[in-house]
Structure 1
Amino acid sequence: MKNKRKVILSTLSALIITTSAAYAASADQLYSDVPADNWAVAAVTKLTNDGIITGYGDGTFRGDRAVTRYEMAQMIASARTHSEKASEEDKALIQRLSNEFSDELTSLGIRMSNVEKKTDNVKISGVFANKAMKGISDSHTWWEKEIFLNVDADVGDGWGFHSGLDWKWGTNTKGWNGEESFSDLYSTSNKDVNAMIYRMYAQGPIGKNINATIGLFTPDLQDGVVGNARTKGVAVDYNMGKTTLKAYTGKVYEKNADLSSPWSAGFIRHGNRYDFYNDGSTRDDATLRVYGFSAEHTFTPKTSAGLGYYSLKSPNAYDGRLGIIALNARQNLAKNLDLTGFYSHGNQDYQNKAYDLKLVYNGSPWGDKRWGSSIGYRYLGSDALIMSSIVNGSEKPGSKGMEASIWYHFTKNIQLQNYFFFGKAINSEYAAENPHHTAFFSNLIFAF
């Protein structure tokens, strides 16, 4: 009887490779070993929604029925063959799923071998972008060109290495001197062309369902709505099915003037810039220490939310540590239509709240849809954000108003992004002195 069972299992494995539909029907009768609420189901659902998993029936789990580990392995194998178009987050998810279902992937034999043949140890990708932008503080249109180069390497045992190199030149980059940039190292900060190491980190598993990131990275807590500032340090995330716990700590690696609180005299601290040294200065050599943690939960395939806390500490700052509590959520309203939003609150005494509520059609411009758009209202108090991922048309925190966006893919590798902001500075005196209350950001991108 035991030998017969082995023969049956071998036959079913072969059927997986030749026809997924026939296998799925058999699996319904014989197996139910991956419950619908397992973390891997949510992970594969995300990869399906992001367009990474293709060719598996209708791309759904057929309601709440349990799937088999072999079905999951088949879908993970599909994701691996399309990993070149995956985001960094999705690549990490694919690797985590591969580790969890390694035995089943190995049992697929030929398919797993084919996947490995398509995987290089080192991959190079990037974008060339031509940008035009205008902020709400003046009427000038700034032009900028940028080349961003990604280098990804698989170093084994689920660990990978990533670096990002950034070159910018144009009318608004003269004098840009990011810390330890190539421009600083070779005394070319006053040149038109500036270059820097934008990211450099290692990432991989340190335990079951636990991943670590070490180096210079951009934290991904709550989609970066509050703490999107690059950080030199360490981050950890722990997946518990529908819930993911995330934490990070380190030193902020951004120009202070690009952060929220020290940005503009009219936007913050009752007309005074953030005083890092108690002497009225905001020098770019200030060391800012930061940490944050969040709990992010997927309630249903249509509903998710997160709760987080962030802390920013500068040396000798007269008002101590900036602490921020943040809540974000996403609700799918209809096919290709999402409602997203966040609210954050800081512990200082000026612009202590920030929020954004937005309707999004067809998701992210980095997905596989032909075009998409969004419209929403935002209030971006500078003391309720460290550095936000959502400020495109509205430029930087300290502003309030409506923002609309539209993006279009001319081809798979060429897209145009446009963001338009109709609002003004939160500080009324600054708004009165700067009457240009509209802003835009346009970005023509060539990916390679």
Structure 2
Amino acid sequence: MKKTLVSALTTALVVGAASTTFAAASPFSDVPAEHWAYDAVAQLAQDGIVNGYDGTHFRGDRQVTRYEMAQMVAKAMAKSQNVTVSGNDKALLDKLAAEFADELNNLGVRVANLEKNADKVKWTGEARYRYWSYRDENAAGKKSKDNIDHVSFRLFPTAEINDNWSVKARLTSNFLMNKDNTGTTELSYIFAEGNYGSLNVKAGKMPFYSTNDDGLVMDDFFSGVQATVGSKVKLTAEAGRWNINDRANVAVTKEANKAVPAVKDVASYQGVQLSAEQGKLSGGLGYRHFSSEVFKTASGYKADKDDADILSAGARYTFDKNWAVAGAYAENTDAKSYKKSGSAEIDYKGANKANKGSFGASVAYRHLGSNASLMPTFDTAHANVGTGHDTLNEKGWDFSASYVPMKNTLTTLGYFNGKQFANHNDKAETLYARVSFFF
């Protein structure tokens, strides 16, 4: 969206509302005293919001780029911090900040609070298509092929309560295109979030992500409370319940190589993680405890043991804007088998959905034991959610590439080649793809 002089004048009038008079003279030769916009342009120049071109021309009939407009809005925002601005003009400036949020962020201008106050409820969303093709082969050479087409539609409302608290939620609709089913719609999570300086508090049903190991152990939801304190070094403590029935995987099956049963159980959960960032290096440690009767009959567990205690660690080193390496390890100290998971990854560049033409690629070696990786974040492992296909207890190489063909559209293509160590090293091969549209 391009704007002409009118936009510039809007910004000028917002910050000029606190002034009693406009500037006495305009520095631009192409804005004479009799010009209808003379006073506003003079005020712009006096306030340092516009500099003109070559020092003498304003060129008010020229269309302004979004970047140029963002620069003017940024300067207006800075001025509004030191003068009294009326309620209507403040609201107008907030809306301008929200409109040019991406450009302002690129300029290093903090606009989160302005965006939040511009509207009490803000909606974002994602429409996503995912495809998997599993091509396995057993020791006798018998091959199997299973294709899955999955579509999801997500809405993310954020409601402002006051300066410190907000409510966040996610509405999700899922269906399988290859089965042409009616699908399901659910409230995936809803929680209240409070921010007090370096302290962040959440309560409700919320995303459950093992940040310290970059999702090797968990990427799901849990109901409870979470508190995080710190900036460069963060300590997170959380407690609540994890619904095993909602996200059943091989860790709660009675036999590792059979379909997941409808387990009606909720595990109590307590966890703590420490994460830190110093220059190009980041990483962390985590401990998570689950307790449920389900574990007593789960494959690979010690007899009559109803606990799962999982320790994990991870680190990432960023060499430059193009290259980074990452690694993570997790172990369930209560399990007899399938108790270890690990991941080593090399990343090149990175696709940013806001930047058309950006791209990234990665290669990784993964070892996913079901009793350590209860619900990992990787596409190959996540496919078992709602599809009936078990992709845990596998090890092998994972290749992926992402590309942004147009703004707010992210595409990913991946390939996994490895073995099922839970099933006598049968071959495991997976093709997967994803297309996401963000709004």
Answer yes or no: is the 8 Å Cα contact 1:362–1:371 preserved in 2.
yes
Task: Say yes or no: does 1:158 pair with 2:157.
Answer: no
Shift of 1:266: 3.6
* Structure 2 match to 1:399: 394
The CA deviation at 1:336 is 2.2
Q: Does 1:133 align with 2:139?
A: no
Alignment deviations for residues 147-190 of structure 1 (CA, whole Å, 9 cap, x no partner): 1111111111221111111111125778xxxxxxxxxxxxxxxx
Check if 1:295 corresponds to 2:274: yes
What corresponds to 2:285 in structure 1? 307
Q: Is the 8 A contact 1:219 1:235 kept in 2?
A: no
Q: TM-score, normalised by structure 2?
A: 0.65
| Cross-structure match for 1:387 | 375
Within 2, Cα distance between the matches of 1:445 and 1:363? 15
1:26-425 → structure 2 map (5 Å cutoff): 81=98, 115=114, 119-135=118-134, 138-171=144-177, 192-205=182-195, 207-222=196-211, 223-239=214-230, 241-253=231-243, 255=245, 258-262=248-252, 265-266=255-256, 282-300=261-279, 302-315=280-293, 317=296, 318-347=304-333, 348-363=335-350, 366=353, 368=355, 370-392=358-380, 395=383, 396-425=391-420
CA distance in 2, matches of 1:415, 1:422: 24
- Secondary structure of 2:314 counterpart: strand
Contact 2:393-2:420 within 8 A present in 1 as well: yes
Structure 2 CA distance for aligned equivalents of residues 85 and 166 of structure 1: 26
Secondary structure (helix, strand or coil) at the match of 1:261 reads: helix
Alignment partners' CA distance in 2, 1:173 and 1:232: 31
Per residue, is there more helix in 1 or in 2?
1
Deviation string 1:323-366 (CA, Å, 9 cap, x unpaired) is 11100101012322111110111111101211101111223655
What one-letter code is carried by the residue in structure 2 that aligns with 1:159?
Answer: W
Structure 2: which 5+ runs fail to align? Answer: 1-43, 50-69, 72-77, 83-93, 104-109, 137-143, 297-303, 384-390
| Structure 1 residue 422, shift from structure 2 partner | 0.7
Residue 298 of structure 1 aligns with an amino acid whose one-letter code is E
Distance 1:406 1:257 in 2: 27
2-side partners of 1:334 and 1:264: how far apart? 46
Q: Describe the superposition over 1:67-119 as per-residue Cα deviations: whole angstroms up to 9, x where unpaired.
A: xxx9xx99xx9xx7589679xxxxxx986xx6xxxxxxxxxxxxxxxx46973
Question: AA paired with 2:341?
Answer: A
Bigger CA drift: 366-375 or 122-131?
366-375
- Evaluate the alpha carbon distance shift between residue 314 and residue 375 of structure 1 in structure 2; reply closer, same or farther with a 3 A threshold: same
Q: Percent of counterpart pairs with the same letter? A: 20
- CA shift in 2, pair 1:367/1:361, >3 Å: farther
Q: Residue 426 of structure 1 is aligned with which of 421, 425, 436?
A: 421
What one-letter code is carried by the residue in structure 1 that aligns with 2:154?
A: F
Residue 413 of structure 1 and its aligned partner are, at CA, apart by 2.0
Asked if the contact 2:340/2:369 (under 8 Å) is kept, the reply is yes
Give, as a single letter, the amino acid of the residue that structure 2 aligns with 1:197: L
Cα distance in 1 for residues equivalent to 2:430 and 2:364: 15
Secondary structure at the aligned position of 1:397 is classed as: coil
Secondary structure of the 2:371 match is helix
Provide the C-alpha distance between the structure 1 equivalents of 2:111 and 2:273, rounded to a whole number of angstroms.
22
CA deviation string 1:295-334 (max 9, x = no partner) = 101122x101100101111136322211111001010123
Q: Who is 1:440 aligned against?
A: 431
| CA displacement, residues 257-315 of structure 1 (integer Å, 9 cap, x when unaligned) | 64351258345xxxx89xxxxxxx95432111122111101122x10110010111113
CA contact (8 A) 1:173 1:194 kept: no
Contact kept? 2:135, 2:146, Cα under 8 Å: no
Contact 1:393/1:440 (<8 A) preserved: no
Q: Which consecutive residues of structure 1, in runs of 5 or more, have no partner in the other structure?
A: 1-13, 20-54, 57-69, 87-92, 99-114, 175-190, 274-280
Query: Residues 419 and 322 (structure 1 numbering): CA distance in 2 closer, same or farther, change over 3 Å?
Result: same
Corresponding pairs, count: 329
* Two-structure CA RMSD over aligned residues (Å): 3.8
User: How far apart are the structure 2 equivalents of 1:287 and 1:169?
Assistant: 25
Give the TM-score of the pair, scaled to structure 1.
0.64
Q: Normalized per residue, which structure has more strand?
A: 2
CA distance 1:130–1:380, change in 2 (3 Å): same
Rounded to whole Å, the distance in 2 between the matches of 1:238 and 1:162 is 20
- Measured against aligned partners, the alpha-carbon deviations of 1:403-442 in whole angstroms (never above 9, x if no partner) come to 011111111122211221111212243x44xx5x211221
- The answer to whether the Cα contact below 8 Å between 1:229 and 1:254 also exists between their aligned partners in 2 is no
| Alpha-carbon spacing, 1:414–1:364, altered in 2? closer, same or farther (3 Å) | closer
